A and B are shown apart, each in its own frame.
Chain A
């Protein structure tokens, strides 16, 4: 099966998206999901959208990219991590 393409976006692809991307890679590995996790900045989302299955962001996003979007603040704050993980898995698992 084609790996799921997951875009992890924050303000500068420096700190929060680095940590969130690592959490998502581990989450996918734990659940046997083949995933291509890519980091980018919020403004770069539009150019990286091609083939994306999911966007996870740690910043406020108003735009609709036509791809499911999950807020990943939980990976940074540690609050509600399970709920965020469940939401991500829900978008990645075959229906």
Chain B
């Protein structure tokens, strides 16, 4: 699973789940990680199978889609200045929402090859220490350091350009 620094977005100021999904979906598409159908699929999946999780250190969400919308495996990580409400995993919009401050987009094209990194990611979010460190990171490099330490994820094989191309919101 790639840990591209351009997909690590610390302390984002975003008001709603819709805006967050639009922002990240566009970024993933611009960088070639997902196809054109990803954004729609992400919204549809979250509406039916929500991914908000109340863990001891706060609210986390793990939005994802069917593998068919993904071209290259990646993990996109967003920490939020203000929480965004997600419906709880295992529930639906009728259940009490989770106030989420850390969002990990699991961008996976073949889950059978990602069992280890998915397991490590899920176990990591169960750790207060991991989430508090993610929340404290102020730069993509800071997030990258926390993630590589805790998840054992590697940098992309191809060198990524130094110019960061975050689309303007």
Contacts and interface: CB of A to CB of B under 8 A. Distances in A.
B119 A71 contact: no
B122 A12 contact: no
Contacts of A77: 53-55, 89, 126
6 contacts: A12-B49, A58-B89, A58-B90, A60-B90, A77-B89, A78-B125
A77 B51 CA distance: 10
A15 B49 contact: no
B55 A78 contact: yes
Contacts of A16: 51, 62, 89, 122
Given A16-B62, A77-B126, A79-B56, A11 B115 contact: no
B62 A14 contact: no
Interface residues of B, number: 29
A82 interface: no
A18 B115 contact: yes
A47 to B, nearest CB: 18
Given A15-B64, A78-B123, 19 more contacts: A11-B45, A12-B65, A13-B111, A14-B65, A15-B62, A15-B108, A16-B62, A18-B115, A18-B119, A19-B119, A42-B49, A60-B91, A60-B92, A76-B53, A76-B89, A77-B89, A78-B56, A78-B125, A78-B126
Contact of A12 (B67, B112, B114, B126): B67
A73 interface: yes
Interface string A32-65: 0000000000100000000000000111100000
Interface string B15-43: 00000000000000000000000000000
